[in-house]
Chain A
Amino acid sequence: MMAALLREWRLLAGAARIGLAVLALLAGVAVALGVAEVARTRADIARVVALEARETQAIIGFAKGDAGEFGYYRHHPVARAPGDLAFIAPARGDAVPAVLRIRILALEGQINDNEAANPELLLAGRFDFAFVTLYLAPLLLIALLHDLWSGEREAGRLAALQSLPQARQRLWSPRVAVRLGGVAVALLLPLAIGGAVEGAALPRLLLVAALVLASLLFWTLLALLVARTPAASSTQAAVLAGLWFTVTLVVPAAGHLAINAAVPLPDAAAIARENREEVHAGWDRPRADTMARFVALYPAYRDQAAMGTGFHWKWYFAFQHLGDQAVAADSAAREAGIARREALAQQLGWLLPPIKVAQALQGLAGSDVAADLAFRARVRAAHRALREYHYPFLFHDRPMTPADVAAAPQP
């Protein structure tokens, strides 16, 4: 068996070897870019956290222990720290921020903020390991496998080769194995190096490898099915390239159109305006009404609801929260709509294994829609925890000492 594989490797045309080398190089570049981007994202987050700490010190200087001033001025960075597999499909440069600074004012005006990214680069798409696996590796496989039989037929050798005893085991299987194995190694070697650099958990890294192999296996089977037909090698190549481009370009693009048409979302601009109207109406509404509505949600502060005619932070933050409450249903419907769109896309993925592999790779890298939604959920939880941390200070007029400032929940 080993001898047969070695023989097939020696027989592999120079162009095919160059193709494998170029694929390995591209996969290596993609992994290196991914590792660099992940490192930069971590550095971005670290810088923001450090700058925020300085900013908080400055606020301690002028807030004089007033919890309301802290609530108004102090921001809390919530980060999407890249995981151990982020390098295979990094989210850097995404419209979703890597770190979002929130404060305990109405969240609706904060949680939708986009990163100040260059949209032209986002439009182009990323050059990452997932891209090399999904787009480039199948093309090379098709080039290597489409004329497995037709190439020999056109060279006039097929009949002689087929008449060899056990041709399948001795000839064709090793031939396919060398080609598939070559492509697999070209992808998995850079992946392994990237995984080692990033200290990726071995089971997760093996899962990525399994996904890559599944995608390659899909294309190998498809290529062999077409190669089996009696058509000319160029027809086989055209059919396979057509299938590749249908699976990786046409169907996803058409699916995107159909899904967005099928699942409409509540208008973002209308929700933003409604939230603002509710928050600002708080200044004009009878204060007792605002406080009554707030303590209905937070009965623990029922005895602190009364207030005079002057400004009080507890009232201010109460109507901020009521502004969020007013659009909570619409906002949740929007997120549910986005989740529904992604669920439909995942279902489409089950029909087309390469799409499913791409989706799974993005999922493992933490750069898919689910990760964005999970981040939003985390931001909401952090906002809630921070609000509820500030409420006792605000409602009991307790000063916020530097120790209290430091003890605020870390998002």
Chain B
Amino acid sequence: MRVQRIAGAQLRLFVRSRLAVVALLLLLLLSAIAALTGAGQAARIASARATAQGAADAAFANQPDRHPHRMVHYGSYALRPLGPLAAFEPGVDAFAGSLIYLEGHRQNATTAAAARESSGLIRFGQLTPAFVLRVLVPLLLVFVGFAMIVAERQSGLLTLQLSHGASWRQLLAGKALALAAVAGVAALPALAALGLAAARAPAEAGVALVMAVAVLLWLGLWVLGITLVSARARSAQSALLALVLAWAVLVVLVPRAAAGVAALVHPLPTKAETDLVIHAELRSLGDSHNPDDPHFAAFKAALLKRHGVARVEDLPYNYRGALSAEGERLTSGLFARHAAEAAATQMQQHRLLAVAAVISPAIGFAQAGMAGAATDLASQLAFLEAAEAHRYRLVQSLNRLHTFEVRAADDAARNRDPIAERQSRVSAGFWAEQKPFAFAGPTAANRMTAMLPGLGVMALWGLGLLWLLRRSPVAP
């Protein structure tokens, strides 16, 4: 009871402070703007990508009769879908290419990243509900709460309250409760955005709930931390300076510094270098330009032997198609290996950040939110892998058509003989039969598991702060 009374009295003091009320109102306004524009933008992006994916699939399915190898070069596109919770936390979306052109022989780079389409202002941070909660709300709580205990000590009010029977622990709990109430109000628009996103996609409700828990944990850390500093500081001014410094270090400095260190410790090769290395490795594996290449000679000999014939022309199918499939198998093996290496390096960088979250739980909060919204690095890497798997499947399926549906004689003569050219085309019906690209993203269960390290780090901090609070003496 007494705790509630202390909290109520403190809340009335907060409301009487004009600075705090104005700051809270401004924050609520910003947060509402972030929630509204976030929802609008995410819906727009998601529908634009779905439309583009549909257009790419339709273009492929509606191609006329063609030679299958033409379709290998015509290719298709994969677009990264945007989950419903991205309205709350767009995560890496703006910095990761969302479009890949899928064609034979090549593993293309991603294109279309919002960061390259925007002004340089994007580097200052994006106004999203998650950004408001991670960066702005903690600073507001600092401004509102830094003096709540230390000022009363300076004015002698504290001694008065303690002499009237309130225990030190009750006082701390009451003050923390009052600040937690402010945190709850400040977080409302962002949490409403999360709730709305979950309401639109009921399957996401479970993850959204865990994300809301992460938000409450994160803001709880600040409530505890501010109460602690305000209880132990010598003066209101030193409490404020210490808290603003802690905010600057934990929220602004460490995440960037950790990213810089991660890039330096686990260097990632450039796309250009990887492509060149793959070319060089490919030549040593089997050079399709060299008629006497040992790999392709052995491949040919094995096929001839299996079918008991002496010439490729006598094979029961089209050798050119089989050769294309073998070439694709070789290149794609290298693509897969190098992509796996690049993904492993990026995950090492990610894990280094996860370790740095022990120093700055802001990183843990960000990683948990992105994992929940499927806008984290792992989701992007999964998309890249799915796109490559789809590319390989599509190209090899076209190569099979090339092998079994195009007569070798027509194939050989198609460049000089218009009739052979016409006969080397396969029916348009095959294109519509190809399965279009689909990427569901990580499952809800996987995403919740991926949130655990971030949640754990925040819980650890919470326990540490609670311990410090329990030990904090009445008079420093």
Q: A122-B92, A255-B121 are in contact. Are A127 and B113 (CB under 8 A)?
A: no
> Is there a chain B Cβ closer than 8 Å to A256's Cβ?
yes
Q: Which of A251-265 contact B (CB under 8 A)?
A: 252-257, 259-261, 265
Q: Which of A89-103 contact B (CB under 8 A)?
A: 92-93, 95-101
Q: How close is B61's CB to chain A, nearest CB, in angstroms? A: 14
Question: With A and B bound together, what is the CA distance between A273 and B54 in angstroms?
Answer: 12
> Is there a chain B Cβ closer than 8 Å to A233's Cβ?
yes
Q: Are A139 and B95 in contact (CB under 8 A)?
A: no
Residues of B within 8 A of A58 (CB): 279, 283
Partner of B122, one of A114, A143, A250, A256: A256
Question: With A and B bound together, what is the CA distance between A39 and B140 in angstroms?
Answer: 41
> Is there a chain A Cβ closer than 8 Å to B264's Cβ?
yes
Q: A116-B342, A270-B52, A280-B73 are in contact. Are A126 and B256 (CB under 8 A)?
A: yes
Q: Are A245 and B139 in contact (CB under 8 A)?
A: yes
Q: Are A116 and B95 in contact (CB under 8 A)?
A: no
Q: Are B143 and A101 in contact (CB under 8 A)?
A: no
Q: Are A121 and B263 in contact (CB under 8 A)?
A: yes
Residues of B within 8 A of A337 (CB): 117
Residues of B within 8 A of A7 (CB): none
Residues of B within 8 A of A128 (CB): 260
Residues of A within 8 A of B52 (CB): 267, 269-270, 273
Q: Are A62 and B77 in contact (CB under 8 A)?
A: no
> Is there a chain A Cβ closer than 8 Å to B326's Cβ?
no
Residues of A within 8 A of B77 (CB): 269, 272-273
> Is there a chain A Cβ closer than 8 Å to B262's Cβ?
yes
Q: How close is A109's CB to chain B, nearest CB, in angstroms? A: 6
Q: Are B112 and A48 in contact (CB under 8 A)?
A: no
> Is there a chain B Cβ closer than 8 Å to A77's Cβ?
yes
Question: With A and B bound together, what is the CA distance between A256 and B131 in angstroms?
Answer: 14
Q: A147-B237, A253-B131 are in contact. Are A280 and B270 (CB under 8 A)?
A: no
Question: With A and B bound together, what is the CA distance between A37 and B131 in angstroms?
Answer: 28
Of the stretches A235-243, A297-305, A396-404, the one at the interface is A235-243
Q: A33-B264, A234-B147, A269-B79 are in contact. Are A369 and B274 (CB under 8 A)?
A: no
Of the stretches A163-171, A196-204, A340-348, the one at the interface is A340-348
Q: How close is A68's CB to chain B, nearest CB, in angstroms? A: 14
Partner of A273, one of B56, B117, B349: B56
Q: Are B101 and A119 in contact (CB under 8 A)?
A: no
Secondary structure call for the A interface: helix
Interface size class of B (residues with CB under 8 A): 35 or more
Residues of B within 8 A of A276 (CB): 74-75, 101
> Is there a chain B Cβ closer than 8 Å to A55's Cβ?
yes
> Is there a chain B Cβ closer than 8 Å to A156's Cβ?
no
Q: Are A114 and B70 in contact (CB under 8 A)?
A: no
Q: Are A62 and B290 in contact (CB under 8 A)?
A: yes
Of the stretches B183-191, B240-248, B461-469, the one at the interface is B240-248
Residues of B within 8 A of A233 (CB): 237
> Is there a chain B Cβ closer than 8 Å to A136's Cβ?
yes
Q: Are B280 and A118 in contact (CB under 8 A)?
A: no
Residues of A within 8 A of B346 (CB): 118, 120
Residues of A within 8 A of B259 (CB): 120-121, 124-127
Residues of A within 8 A of B269 (CB): 44, 116
> Is there a chain A Cβ closer than 8 Å to B12's Cβ?
no
Partner of A242, one of B23, B255, B283, B370: B23
Interface size class of A (residues with CB under 8 A): 35 or more
> Is there a chain A Cβ closer than 8 Å to B429's Cβ?
no
> Is there a chain B Cβ closer than 8 Å to A283's Cβ?
yes
Q: Which of B12-45 contact A (CB under 8 A)?
A: 19, 23, 30, 33, 37
> Is there a chain A Cβ closer than 8 Å to B297's Cβ?
no
> Is there a chain A Cβ closer than 8 Å to B267's Cβ?
yes
Residues of B within 8 A of A127 (CB): 253, 256-257, 259-260
Q: Which of A69-127 contact B (CB under 8 A)?
A: 77, 92-93, 95-101, 109, 112-127
Partner of B272, one of A101, A277, A362, A372: A101
Q: Are B112 and A241 in contact (CB under 8 A)?
A: no
Residues of A within 8 A of B147 (CB): 234
Q: A121-B262, A242-B143, A345-B120 are in contact. Are A48 and B115 (CB under 8 A)?
A: no
> Is there a chain A Cβ closer than 8 Å to B178's Cβ?
no
> Is there a chain B Cβ closer than 8 Å to A309's Cβ?
yes
> Is there a chain B Cβ closer than 8 Å to A288's Cβ?
no
> Is there a chain B Cβ closer than 8 Å to A157's Cβ?
no
Q: A77-B272, A98-B270, A311-B415 are in contact. Are A250 and B30 (CB under 8 A)?
A: yes
Residues of A within 8 A of B19 (CB): 235, 238-239
Q: What per-residue 1/0 map shows which CB atoms of A326-355 lie under 8 Å from chain B?
A: 000000001001100110111010000001
State the A residues within 8 Å of B (CB).
26, 29, 33, 36-37, 40, 44, 47-48, 51-52, 54-55, 58, 62, 77, 92-93, 95-101, 109, 112-128, 131, 135-136, 139, 143, 147, 151, 232-235, 237-239, 241-242, 245, 248-250, 252-257, 259-261, 265, 267-270, 272-273, 276-277, 280, 283, 309-311, 334, 337-338, 341-342, 344-346, 348, 355, 358-359, 362, 368-369, 372
Q: List 25 A-B contacts (CB under 8 A).
A: A47-B273, A62-B290, A93-B268, A112-B112, A116-B274, A120-B350, A121-B259, A121-B349, A124-B259, A126-B256, A232-B236, A250-B127, A253-B124, A253-B126, A253-B131, A254-B33, A259-B118, A268-B117, A269-B55, A273-B56, A342-B119, A345-B120, A348-B121, A359-B120, A369-B120
Which A-B residue pairs are the 9 nearest by beta carbons? A345-B119, A252-B124, A124-B259, A119-B92, A113-B109, A269-B52, A119-B96, A253-B127, A62-B289
Known contacts A36-B264, A346-B119; can you find 11 more A-B pairs with CB under 8 A?
A115-B270, A122-B92, A122-B95, A123-B95, A135-B253, A234-B147, A250-B30, A250-B136, A253-B121, A280-B73, A283-B70
